[in-house]
Amino acid sequence: MTLVSDSPEETTEIGKHIGRHLIKGQTAFIFGELGSGKTTLIKGAAEAFGIPARDITSATYTIIAEYEGTVPFYHIDLYRLDDIRSIEEAGVFECIGPGKAAAIEWAEKLDGCINGGIRIHMAYSEHEKRIITIEGIDEKNWDYNQAG
Ligand SMILES: Nc1ncnc2c1ncn2[C@@H]1O[C@H](COP(=O)(O)OP(=O)(O)OP(=O)(O)O)[C@@H](O)[C@H]1O
Ligand SMILES: [Mg+2]
């Protein structure tokens, strides 16, 4: 499924809908270059767990940020990690599992280690547009209607 977001606010709204699909202990793997809107989308996903969007930030040296939501919610940023070994050592895989929810930026770094979950690719388009491609969501239960 491919959506076009016209603003940061719309990306957060799309993230919130994605978050509702994460409740059953799934992980969102987010791909896309610098500034493509990964953190902006995760703000919305966090809201789906009762965590205020403003609490989600992108501190340079934070790899794993844990939040107390309706279930433990992990915002993970792999930007500074270079290989699977360092990702493992950082404890990323412990954040994935039943009863937890995680959203991972720079999923490119996981290389071939991704199975299942929701995969989201973010790409620039003109001005404030972003193309958001979502895989792994049952489209029958996807109730987001784009305005306009
Ligand atoms: N439609 C849009 N969706 C999301 N962000 C947008 C959009 N249009 C403009 N922006 C701007 O693009 C920037 C996206 O930043 P954000 O931190 O979410 O990206 P990121 O992919 O997490 O970057 P990084 O790779 O550095 O972690 C913000 O400044 C935001 O305001
Ligand atoms: Mg980010």
Q: What is this structure's pTM?
A: 0.95
Alpha-carbon span 88 to 83, nearest angstrom: 9
Residue having the nearest C-alpha atom to atom 31 of ligand 1 = 8
If one residue of 2, 3, 10, 36 were mutated to test the ligand 1 pocket, choosing by the most ligand atoms within 8 A of its CB, it would be 36
The C-alpha atoms of residue 56 and residue 11 are separated, in whole angstroms, by 14
CA 42 to ligand 1: nearest atom: 18
Where are the chain's structural domains?
2-141
For residue range 20-32, list pLDDT tens digits in order. 988 777 899 999 9
The predicted-structure confidence for 93-116, as pLDDT tens digits, reads as follows 999 988 999 999 999 999 878 888
Distance 38 CA to ligand 2 centre (A): 5
Task: Read off φ and ψ for residue 143, nearest 5 degrees.
Answer: -105, 15
Is any atom of ligand 1 closer than 6 Å to the C-beta of 32?
yes
Tell me which residue has its CA closest to atom 26 in ligand 1: 34
Residue 22 contacts by C-beta under 8 Å, 6 or more apart in sequence? Answer: 28, 45, 48, 49, 101, 103, 118
The answer to whether 51 and 77 have CB atoms below 8 angstroms apart is no
d(CA 41, CA 104): 11
pLDDT digits (tens, 9 = 90+) for 38-83: 999 999 999 999 999 999 998 888 999 999 999 999 999 999 999 9
* Ligand 2 geometric centre to CA of 107 (Å): 11
For residue 69 and ligand 1, the question of a CB distance below 6 A is answered with no
Q: pLDDT above 70 covers what percent of the chain?
A: 97
CATH of domain 2-141: 3.40.50.300
Among the listed residues 32, 21, 49, 45, the one whose alpha carbon sits nearest the alpha carbon of residue 139: 21
